[in-house]
Structure 1
Amino acid sequence: MTPAVVGRRVLGLVGVLAALYGGAVLTGEGQVVDASAFTGVARFDTVGVDPAGALREVAPLLALVVVVVMAVAALRRGRSRDVAAAVVIVGASFVAARALKAVLDRPYLGDNGYLDNTFPSGHAAGLTALLVAAVVLAPPSARTARLSVVLATVAAVGGYASVVSYAHRPSDVVGAVLVVAVVATVTVAVFGVDGPRGWPAWSWTAVGVAALVCLALLGVEQTMEPGVFDDVLQNIALSASVWLACLTCFLTTSPREREGVVSGQR
């Protein structure tokens, strides 16, 4: 990626992150919508909370084991640059998420979930960063859009588990993923590492349109009478938003040209 492309992507990601924080954390309406996810989750309390809590704790550990094994294999093949990039992505993402959580303020605008600031989620940042690192450590021929979609789905399931287990609001998870996206975009550019290739030319447009649809669904949901359909629609929109954020995290580390050409083994 050229510096201009990296700059545009980072500015775009930071802009979305700032808008998310401003809308979901600094406004009363945003806090209400964000915290209302817990109301929808509560309807499925008896079947979802305990498994989600276990998944939230176990998923990052399993991902860490896989990444360590991949890093050792990459080092044996002389791919020290890929390993260094992976280490920076994981370490810097986690530190950045923790630092933002400590620095950012959450004003009291009503009893909307936890009163303390939980934005962004450290667990979601750690899991997502590890999965992005897994793509960086994969053999160049395996760094495909298909692999990214699979890992983005894993990241989304693990991230939304924090919502289902009442550990975080949806904005915390999306914010964490955006932090990882910023770190990963800069890191792959600085280290000259190839991100996933093979994305269709319309990928960015599709993600943007889907994000707008999710926002529209949340807007419609807020006008509905409380009930099962209302809660299901809300969880669909919120979980889809998390998945789109995770997908963007992988998409933004890809080369600008997404014609599917795969680089050779270094």
Structure 2
Amino acid sequence: MKVAQIGSGTPEVAVVAGIHGDEPCGVRAVERLLDERPTVERPVKLIVANEKALERQVRFVDEDLNRAFPGDPDAKTHEGQLAHRLVEELEGCLTFSMHSTQSHAEPFAIVNGVNETAEEIVPQLPVTAMVETSNFAEGRLFSEIDTVEVECGMQGSETAAQNADRLTRAFLTAVGALPGDTMYNDLPVYRLTDVIRKQEADTYEVFVDNFAEVEAGESFAAADGDEQVADESFYPVLMSSNGYRDVFGYAAEKLDVLTAPPAAD
């Protein structure tokens, strides 16, 4: 784990990249901040988490780090020990954690709860949606640390790396670490309600778009040509044919649309 800091003092804000070793987009954003060393108005801790997995270009070494929190210093896995160290390092910090996906090109945010912090910060980020995932938070970083997680784009793409840099700077501006102004967006909010599992098969297909409502009775995916039909309407999130080994993705409900505050005269 690589830990660095820009600005002097004790950080209350942190940026984390490389939770998964096959998602390098956030690492690029952190490295750029360290190269440029911008003048900050409050100190920021910068962390590249799973260096061993990044070196091997694999998602994880022994287990998924973002399912291993709070971790244990005596864990038998690399990620179990790393999770414990990372929680210690991030204690007291509002944390921004970057990921990428095989299912959706546009950036969106994931939070453990739609609280005051999320409602204030996430609409200032260049994201298309906010997803509340408290029903599925076990073992994830934000189960232990106050965290805004973002999916920056398609895994391994240059666009995801560019988005990661843009998202990081927007976050740091929103929390008052970087000078300047942000732009508030009207932001739809969803809550994950169920896991959409898939049977073992040779080929998988997904027929729907993420965040586009699937109506009851509509076919939304197939395994070896065997179609799955929605029993009730839902919004697909992180749906892809091969992004996960045993699930297509998640079903969600739409909660609200956060509207931008009126512009000051």
Structure 1 length as normaliser, TM-score?
Answer: 0.28
Q: Which is strand-richer, 1 or 2? A: 2
Higher relative contact order (CA 8 A, sep 6+): 1
Structure 2 length as normaliser, TM-score?
Answer: 0.28
Q: Which is helix-richer, 1 or 2? A: 1
